[in-house]
Amino acid sequence: MRKICFFDVNPETKEINKKESFTPPPHEPGLYPRLLGEKGADIIIAGGMGPRAQELFNENGVK
């Protein structure tokens, strides 16, 4: 089962202030960029992402 984890990190000290995780809904095209953008994510760490997914994340303000 996949989990999505959010970390609130202090950019100056690099310390984790808060961690939140949840089980995402089933994948459908464009869902994760919109969902993570709505939840306030501004940076993600992920692999195997194609150019269209990268574009969708950028459109939702997520680097």
Distance in Å from the first CA to the final CA of the chain: 25
Give pLDDT, residue 28: 85
Residue pair 60/36 in contact by the 8 Å Cβ criterion: yes
Report the predicted TM-score, pTM, of the whole model to 2 decimal places. Answer: 0.75
Q: Which tens digits make up the pLDDT trace of 1-15?
A: 688 899 999 999 999
Q: What is d(CA 34, CA 38) in angstroms, rounded to the nearest whole number?
A: 6
Among candidate residues 17, 49, 1, the one with its CA nearest the CA of residue 9: 17
SS (H, E, C) 25-58: CCCCCCHHHHHHHHCCCCCCCCCCCCHHHHHHHH
Give pLDDT, residue 21: 92
Q: Which residues does the chain have with pLDDT short of 50? A: none
